[in-house]
Structure 1
Amino acid sequence: MCPLPYGQWADTCPVRVTQQWLDVLTSRGARAAVLRGVDRNGHFRDRLTAQSIDLRVKAAAEAAGLDNPDSYSAHSLRAGGTSAAADAGRSMLAIARHGRWVETSPVVHGYVRAADMWRDNPMRGLGV
């Protein structure tokens, strides 16, 4: 289990959106997989594969007008959440636990992308 707090806005709150989706699944008698395809007639399909999630992330990146949308993947969601948490000042220990990394693993540090390469530059203010 991974605890997730309510978001600030109802339309993007992961808890509220997931609750709404679970209500839809329940109302249609679906069980098991939460991430599943829906065909154009509204019928549920099998659980989403990693590849199908990647395709949806790429499509969303393109729809958002991001540069090089093909470079995004489901993995980008993990890196983006980790980077946002680190940028907000959350501890690496808390981030590692939330992301289900071993607490001493150096891997979690590889997920943290500098949001601003000038603000986050380690050489800033050293007088060199």
Structure 2
Amino acid sequence: MNQFGAPLPPPMQPAHLPGRPRDDRRRYWWLPATISTCLFVVIMMVCFGAMVLSAFATDSCNGPDSCPETFHHLDVAEALAAIAVVAAVGQWLPAYWSPMVLRIILAIVPIILGIIAVALFLSTPIGK
């Protein structure tokens, strides 16, 4: 009873469903994907800058036929950057249902692919 004679409300229930045990394994399901996405955005900004600068490697070329190695290198780097974007978006799809080890692996993949794409853009052979 409170000071006015009214009954007190029942105590607060936990944030999970009553009668079901709390699943702490899924408590922070969003954390690896969020950290990975934030790092990936920064890596992709660097990758975009490297991609813009790597276009200067084709200045001495008259077309893809005159510098096949340069254009092949750029094609591979662009494809890898696109796959990294797909991996960064795709990591969110199984994030809630997958175990933590798989979530961490899925979070690492786009970061590694993005770093490799930046390295490929920065190592483009000039006019070959």
Q: Give yes or no for TM over 0.5.
A: no
Bigger fraction of residues in helix: 2
TM-score by length of 1: 0.25
Bigger fraction of residues in strand: 1
TM-score by length of 2: 0.25
